[in-house]
A and B are shown apart, each in its own frame.
Chain A
Amino acid sequence: MDVLDLARLQFGVTTVYHFLFVPVTIGLSLLVAILQTLWRTTGKNSYLRATKFWGKLFLINLAMGLVTGIVQEFQFGMNWSDYSRFVGDIFGAPLAFEALLAFFVESTFIGIWIFGWDKLKPSIHLACIWLVAFGTMASAYFILAANAFMQNPVGYQINETAGRAELTDFGAVLTNPVVLAAFPHTIFASWMTAGVVVIAVSAYHFKHERDLDVHRPAMRLGVLTTLVGGVGTAISGDALSKVMTSTQPMKMAAAEALYETTDNAPFSVLTIGSLDGRTGTPVVEIPGLLSYLATGGFGGQVHGIDDLNADYQALYGAGDYAPYIPLTYWSFRLMIGFGMLALAMAAIVWWSTRHGRLPSRRWFWPTVMWMAVTPFLANSFGWIFTEMGRQPWVVFSLFSTEAGISPSVGMRTVALSLAGFTLVYAVLIVIALKLFFKFAKAGPPSEEDALASASGPSDDPDKPMAFAY
């Protein structure tokens, strides 16, 4: 282990951890906004109870996403100062835009939404949660636009004297083909994630047949969100893989551990043999699928790792330009596999609960609850794949990860902060999960309580707050 490994490990740990909460925030803010809107438009108090119930669970998750997000912004400067110097002229702007356009909106209006039940007119209060929901999506766009520059640098020129990349076309940075595909992919995946969380929590209450007037509509909404999100994730993922093939062919080859350039390339679902797939024996193989994912045609040519490596050596000098193949190969499969499982689960739940049915097998609902882990695993493997698949570059074709490290930061410093963050994050996730389960099991507030705390502005100056920390 050297400083580079530790800094990379720290980035991986803090980012994957942060992204456990981000998709739930993006998806649940929207679902809470929809539930509250349904309450306002139908007048059914079961929707209000659902809004309160899911709002609380949403906030338990949001707090974690929020505080771990600050680390992300600081980390580029702390561990990756030479990277920051190299890309700052381009990469910093989307981050600043994110703060100005999205993060201020989210953070300000969530405070108003939490405390505003008895302070604002109901319509304005409702508008606040919609602003939060749009804010989270706008946030995602700018962050993904910044990340897209690392995958596929556009709209820049290299200034040799200054030793950095400089912005020439901000429009190109914001409409990078990678972000245009990665944004829907991330949003759909977030919907799928939040949908599965809603299904799993509702499953608990279905199992105990409690408050079904609240949980049945929520379950239906969760199933619908997961199905739309899951299918959308697959379609946008297919689009993203074609963009990836043209911008980062090495990543596509690494996803399949395809060493030689092949027409009509198959996709192996499972391989045994050597871990890096060089001498492996595929157990289940779908002919032509890799070619289809990469090029849109089953007979299309997919470039192999060895050929690409030779090309890159000619272009960028001696070195190994392939990522760590076992990791890319397996994370790509696990991402798709867990995503498919989540989608299939939602379809089965939909089928088993159609027209008011209740599945009677004892294992059914507990299984559904455990399936809640699938989208989180899929999301994590997706990011691990996309970031590890770019290696050895931090900005593809321009700047190596190794060159991005902070020269002034020593081993002990990174080790200390890595240990500190890991420890605090580990304690916090235990607490967050315990709280989440506690309030998920407690179920929605009674109709009385829900209405009392959503009464709108009052003239009585001494009336207790509808919500207080």
Chain B
Amino acid sequence: MELTTIWFLAIALLFTGYFILEGFDFGVGILLPVLGRDDRERRVMINTIGPLWDGNEVWVLTAGGAMFAAFPHWYASLFSGFYLLLFVILLGLIVRGVAFEYRGKGTTDRWRRGWDACLFGGSVLPAFFWGVVVANMVRGVPLDDGFDYTGTVWQLLNGYALLGGLTTLLLFTAHGAFFLHLKTAGDIRERARALGWKLAALTAAPAAAFLIWTQAAHGDALSAILITLCVLSLIGALVLDLLGRGALAFACTAGTVALASAALFAALWPNVLPSTSDPMNSLTHANAAATDKTLGIMTWAAIVFLPVILLYQAWTYWVFRKRVSVNHIPVA
């Protein structure tokens, strides 16, 4: 296999890992005002992801760093072209990250409410705009012969991309509900379960529309298979939740996120950022890539370190495997 193919797969894997892991983090943040009836319940929710969110977020930093190193043109065109979308995502991630650490360090209601709003907003914005970013990446944008974006920010808010954003927003929210079903105990767990299948049902229509649109406009045989499996996986989550099988339902939304992400990258291949103005200006895995020398070094680093990372992150999940209930929350 060519090194550029390997690194296309690696970038796809890193983004997919990020969407699976931070997807439920975002979902928990979005559901905070919905499922958390009082401060203690909201703290239960926050503490299910408290020890994990930071490690989950590194996936996107690694994806960004790897994209910079392996496909400098992809990184340069995407980040400069999608500037304001990423700016909004960054603002969301900033206030959300600080909110985790600072929320519990004040005592007034106003203080906690303020940070709850940051957790909610800081989850909604990235959950929606990552969908917009990836959808535009698959759809393609006008690029000039220097691979620079020639459109406006409004062109990035097209129907297809907005539908993509809505899909990730709803899907991550459902994913978060199943995660809470898995990781909490007591009243809140029941409410998470009752909400889970409804959210999955709500996700189904836009997700199916978005994925079928993707398949019709950009798809191939592989993406067709992945999209079919993705839709089945979402239906599976819904059914399993109704049957009270929370852990399996969560595995199914994780699968939905993974398959949707994989389908989008499959639809993107062999491009990395297609040009809609002139196909000659499309960025592909070949013309966007770094040298084989750099890719080779990175490949060795990834082969050695990715398994180690997976091991110790899995260990974290094992350490914090216990369900959290209101009884576990110490009085502030």
Contacts and interface: CB of A to CB of B under 8 A. Distances in A.
Contacts of B79: 74, 76-78, 81, 84
B97 A63 contact: yes
Interface of B: 43, 46-47, 50-55, 57-58, 61-62, 64-73, 75-81, 83-84, 86-87, 90-91, 93-95, 97-98, 100-106, 146-150, 153, 290-291, 293-294, 297-298, 301-302, 305-306, 309, 312-313, 316, 319-320, 322, 324, 327-330
B91 A89 contact: no
Interface string A389-423: 00000000000000000111100010011001000
A413 B84 contact: yes
Nearest to A113: B51
Given A96-B65, A96-B66, A119-B320, 19 more contacts: A60-B105, A67-B94, A73-B68, A76-B79, A79-B80, A81-B79, A88-B68, A104-B55, A107-B57, A108-B55, A109-B312, A111-B50, A114-B51, A115-B51, A116-B51, A408-B80, A464-B329, A465-B330, A466-B330
Interface in A54-86: 59-60, 62-64, 66-71, 73-74, 76-79, 81-82, 84-85
A91 B298 CA distance: 12
Contacts of B66: 92, 96, 99
Most chain B Cβ neighbours within 10 Å, of A100, A119, A407: A100
B329 A167 contact: no
A87 B306 CA distance: 25
Instruction: Give the 9 A-B residue pairs with the shortest CB-CB distance, closest first.
Output: A88-B72, A77-B79, A92-B69, A92-B68, A63-B101, A81-B80, A81-B76, A108-B55, A406-B80
A347 interface: no
10 contacts: A63-B97, A81-B79, A88-B73, A96-B301, A98-B65, A110-B54, A438-B105, A465-B47, A465-B328, A465-B329
A464 B324 CA distance: 9
Most chain A Cβ neighbours within 10 Å, of B70, B90, B290, B297: B90
Given A89-B294, A107-B54, A465-B329, A78 B86 contact: yes
Contacts of B153: 413
A435 to B, nearest CB: 5
Given A95-B65, A99-B58, A468-B50, A435 B102 contact: yes
Contacts of B305: 100-101, 104
A109 B149 CA distance: 39
B298 A107 contact: no
A100 B72 contact: no
